[in-house]
A and B are shown apart, each in its own frame.
Chain A
Amino acid sequence: MQMNWPRKLLIGIPFLWLLALFLVPFLIILKISLSDPVLAIPPYSPRLDLSNGFEGIITFFSELDFENYIFLSEDSLYWKAYISSIKISAIATFFTLMIGFPLAYAMSNASENWRTPLLMLIILPFWTSFLIRIYSWMGILSNTGLINQLLLWMGVISEPIIILNTNTAVYIGIVYTYLPFMVLPIYATLDRLDGSLLEAAQDLGCTRFSAFWLVTLRLAKPGIAAGCFLVFIPVIGEFVIPSLLGGSRTLMIGKVLWDEFFANRDWPIASAVAVFLLLILLIPIVLFQRNEEKQREHER
């Protein structure tokens, strides 16, 4: 096919759009993370000054440095926030798997007529606002909330237990909102699973449990991995859940970045936090893509 102009336009328009609004902004973050904060608008220096020609470009580059990253590594707040984000995300992913797998398993065992409506019911919350779903837990978990009312009424506790604004509430919020991301890929692999394999295993002397362990779980592994990545990766940068359900002691990097930007107005530090967050996410993202490719090859 020759390069005619409709083809050029077809490729060019989305390409330039993404370059301008995805790649360039990212390069700008990188650049500002190497700048110094100043009290001005915009609050960072140096700014690229093209009126001085080539010399302006040289002074611009000579003023960039890694100061912000050194600051990040020296202030323990940031380290703690990164580590605590990873920890919260890992624990929450584990709980989501523990609830999501049985759910996906039960769905794949339901009769044909039931499967489509069940799938719809899992997907429906996707379409309702994330913010509203988090908000719905605030009324349930608060000191005067339904859980505390119920426990007080039953006489299990004599005074309200504090759940809202703790890490427990954050875990509940994450499991609740990210559950469909875990259930869907696991359900997809279980649904494809050939039932006769299980029968064969049982014919060959496996107990039901060991057949499940040796056949079902092993074949569902790519789906389990995909579900875990789909929860683990976005939760690390989560902002809404820790800021609504978490307390002052819940440390997550998405919230640190937000505060650094909106409250402290330190743009260079916020940019450095963002760049480093992306570096951390790079490893799970690469692993996730490899898992997906392997699965795609397997399907062929």
Chain B
Amino acid sequence: MRKLSWFNTVTLSLGFAFLYLPILILIIFSFNESKLVTVWSGFSVKWYGELFKNEAFLEAAWVTLRVGIISSTLATVLGTMAAFVLVRAGKFLGRTLFSGMIYAPLVMPEVITGLSLLLLFISIGVDRGLMTIILAHATFSMCYVCVVVSSRMSQFDESLDEAALDLGCTRLDAFFSVTLPIIAPAVISGWLLSFTLSLDDLVIASFTAGPSATTLPMQIFSSVKLGVSPEINALSTILIGLVTLGVISASLSTKRVKTRKNLH
């Protein structure tokens, strides 16, 4: 085993300090008594109380939650189907176009995706609101799901599927009892990825939301434009806490699945 040289130790400490100090400072100042975010005047949780009294934030959080759950579920179904098409369907008319449409949204600047979807919704006369944000998020998230699921699918043995078919399963049976359990970790992480992408998106939501719906990032953005506020620090701390909890429990559960597999 190689020992870390002092150079590497210093690099790692500085690098991770750079990545985590700003977030740490943000969390610390969410517990600050004073309205001034940068001057410490004493411990207090009053900004959390203020936050839960703020109707606009609560409303926006509810919108975001609904958009996130529905759009990532849609994206997971569509993305898994698309992964099947890419890995298993072989040749068909328009395959190049199909894979192009899967990979292009991954590198497309958000401002262009947002603008193009907005212009579509307007030209076909759809009222903008919750529904249009869901459609927009499902569309770009399904591409991420497809990439995650297809990389898992291309690793697993197709003959397992064929064996199930030979033993009398229908295609649908074979999918639910053989394929799905194998690709399940990828499908779940695809869903989680879609959910965080949806939770995080400001630009595309701003274009497709219209006046009737405001998501949490939109609400945060409009208040942050006016400057730093302790309420936003409190909200950020809650969001960071939730995400950290989610990531840790997800990684623990995959670890448990792995150890269980090793025991068998």
Please state if B12 and A103 are interface contacts (CB–CB under 8 Å). Answer: yes
The CB with the most chain B CB atoms within 10 A, among A103, A144, A236, is that of A103
A residues within 8 A CB of B244?
A: 124, 128
Give the residue of B11, B16, B22, B203 whose beta carbon is less than 8 angstroms from that of A102.
B11
Please state if A271 and B5 are interface contacts (CB–CB under 8 Å). Answer: no
Task: Flag whether B221 is at the interface (Cβ < 8 A).
Answer: yes
Task: Flag whether A137 is at the interface (Cβ < 8 A).
Answer: yes
Interface residues on A, range: 35 or more
Task: Flag whether A223 is at the interface (Cβ < 8 A).
Answer: no
What's the nearest-Cβ distance from chain A to residue B150, in Å? 12
A residues within 8 A CB of B4?
A: 106, 109-111
Please state if B119 and A267 are interface contacts (CB–CB under 8 Å). Answer: yes
B217-249 vs A, Cβ < 8 Å mask (1 yes, 0 no): 100110011011000110010011001101100
Please state if A257 and B111 are interface contacts (CB–CB under 8 Å). Answer: yes
B residues within 8 A CB of A11?
A: 85, 89, 92, 98
Classify the secondary structure of B's interface with A.
helix
Give the residue of B2, B78, B89 whose beta carbon is less than 8 angstroms from that of A109.
B2
Give the residue of A99, A124, A274 whose beta carbon is less than 8 angstroms from that of B18.
A99
State in angstroms the CA–CA spacing of A237 and B224 once bound together: 21
Contacts A121-B16, A129-B200 given; does A138 touch B224 at CB 8 Å: yes
B residues within 8 A CB of A146?
A: 25, 38
Please state if A99 and B23 are interface contacts (CB–CB under 8 Å). Answer: no
List CB contacts (< 8 Å) of B18-56 with chain A: 18-20, 22-23, 25-26, 29, 36-39
Closest 3 CB pairs of A and B: A237-B109, A25-B116, A106-B8
Q: Which residues of B come within 8 Å of A, CB atoms?
A: 1-5, 7-9, 11-12, 15-16, 18-20, 22-23, 25-26, 29, 36-39, 78-79, 81-82, 84-85, 89-90, 92, 94, 98, 101-102, 104-105, 107-112, 115-117, 119-120, 122-123, 135-136, 139, 142, 146, 171, 196, 199-200, 202-203, 206-207, 217, 220-221, 224-225, 227-228, 232-233, 236, 239-240, 243-244, 246-247, 251
